Amino acid sequence: MKFKAPFLEALVLVILLFTAGCTSSAPQQPGSTQVATPIQTLAVSTTTLPTASGGSTQPGPTDTLPSATPVSVSVEKAGTYSTTIITTFDGGKGMSAVSKIDVRVTRPDGSVVTGPLKPLKGETIELEGTRGTDRVEVIILMNTGMQYKVVDQQMPYKTRG
């Protein structure tokens, strides 16, 4: 009987603590209202940048990543009769040193479409190309602040035959 009394008291105390936390509210000032705080979400967006002089569709030189931090990125057009350009981060030993990846598509008319690629193995980004030959550039920013252009190539439109 003496054992049940402390147990019941502890149980009642726990129940009171749970209900007190659930039903209490912060005191409000007269005339004030509570405002809901929005939850931040990460949205993938692309930007189309028209250029007055036109972006070049001719590829330039690429950089070599340091041998201590190799990573791999692949780029392809989605398929026959598709204008979608798919860029995939394949990972590598140096993926923990990558802080940001930007993908830029320069269209034959000179317009530029850009988008971010998350530095997580298997992540992809799809950017809209054209029925012509598009230029694709992938720029990697490392945690050290160094920036490397690892892909700069032309992506022709695929047709059957």
Domains identified in the chain and CATH numbers: 47-155 (2.60.40.3760)
**Model confidence band, residue 101 (pLDDT cutoffs 50, 70, 90):** very high
Mean pLDDT calculated for residue range 33-44: 42
CA angle 121, 124, 130 (to 5 degrees): 150
Mean pLDDT calculated for residue range 16-35: 52
Mean pLDDT calculated for residue range 126-144: 95
Distance, in Å, from the CA atom of 16 to the CA atom of 18, rounded to the nearest integer, reads: 5
Question: Are the beta carbons of 112 and 48 closer than 8 angstroms?
Answer: yes
**Which positions ≥6 away from 134 have C-beta within 8 Å?**
57, 85, 105, 106, 107, 108, 154, 155
**Which positions ≥6 away from 55 have C-beta within 8 Å?**
106, 107, 110, 111, 112, 135
Give residue-wise pLDDT tens across range 65-99. Answer: 999 999 999 999 988 888 999 999 999 999 999 99
What are the φ/ψ torsions at residue 42 (nearest 5 degrees)? -95, 115
Residue written as token pair 């809901």:
36
Distance, in Å, from the CA atom of 104 to the CA atom of 107, rounded to the nearest integer, reads: 10
Res. 21: pLDDT tops 90: no
Dihedral over Cα of 95, 60, 102, 115: its sign: negative
Return the higher-pLDDT residue of 111 and 81. Answer: 111
Q: What confidence score (pLDDT) does residue 14 get?
A: 66
